[in-house]
């Protein structure tokens, strides 16, 4: 009897070890910014944020779209930082590279230290459906203290993923490139405003 109990215990332990060994591991991803280094300029000064995302994206796991109204939560594919923070970080780095300035500050900034331009961003959707990554965002560029905005727009961008059997790192890379394109569009508004200010002076 003792022998059988010992054998049974060993079998149970072996099954538990196999189960633990075969559990999927979590993969962690970050958004990446442009690699171009900014110059040492301090102008224009940029305030980045607030950045808001939909509640369905406000989670650790990556979220994909499965049809028009259904979402898939990728439990083992996770963001290494809160998604809104990652978007704010990448937007700031991208604009720094686009406009050649190192004077970037995240929202909120001190009331007595307003930037020259404030960029607010509302992510309306950020999804992968099939083999297509899509970003829809509303954004605003304004000068703090002024009642009107320099620009307020909704931008829709998409990018095809490299393979049908894409993984989480492919989605994160596609999102990063979409944010890079969005940053370039925002930078154009600021660049034009700077040119107008120079012409006026």
The model's pTM: 0.85
Rounded-to-integer distance, Cα 99 and Cα 190, Å: 8
HEC states along 91-137? HHHHHHHHHCECCEEECCCCCCCCCCEEEEEEEEEEEEECCEEEEEE
Cα R_g (the chain), whole angstroms:
23
- Domain assignments of the chain as residue spans, ordered by start: 30-200
User: What are the pLDDT digits (tens) for 15-65?
Assistant: 555 455 557 899 999 999 987 766 677 889 999 999 999 999 999 999 998
CATH of domain 30-200: 3.40.50.10610
Interior CA angle at 115 toward 114 and 121, to 5°?
110
pLDDT per residue over 128-174, tens digit each? 988 999 999 999 999 998 889 999 999 999 999 988 788 999 999 99
* Residue 25: partners with Cβ closer than 8 Å, 6 or more residues away: 76
**Token pair recorded at residue 49:** 């944020």
Judge whether residue 79 has pLDDT over 90. Answer: yes
């Amino acid at each position: 009897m003792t022998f059988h109990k010992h054998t049974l215990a060993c079998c149970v332990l072996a099954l538990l070890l196999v189960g633990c060994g075969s559990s999927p591991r979590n993969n962690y991803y970050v958004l990446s910014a442009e690699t171009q280094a900014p110059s040492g300029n301090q102008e224009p000064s940029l305030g980045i944020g607030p950045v808001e995302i939909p509640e369905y994206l406000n989670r650790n796991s990556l979220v994909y779209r499965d049809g028009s109204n259904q979402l898939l939560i990728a439990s083992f594919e996770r963001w290494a930082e809160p998604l809104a923070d990652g978007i704010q970080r990448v937007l700031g780095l991208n604009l720094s590279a686009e406009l050649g300035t190192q004077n970037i500050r995240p929202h909120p900034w001190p009331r007595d230290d307003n930037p020259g331009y404030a960029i607010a961003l509302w992510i309306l959707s950020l999804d992968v459906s099939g083999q297509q990554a899509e970003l829809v965002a509303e954004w605003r560029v304004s000068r703090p203290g002024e009642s009107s905005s320099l620009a307020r727009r909704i931008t829709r961008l998409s990018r095809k993923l490299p393979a049908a059997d894409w993984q989480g790192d492919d989605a994160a890379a596609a999102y990063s490139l979409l944010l890079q394109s969005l940053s370039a569009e925002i930078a154009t508004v600021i660049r034009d405003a700077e040119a107008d200010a120079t012409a006026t002076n």
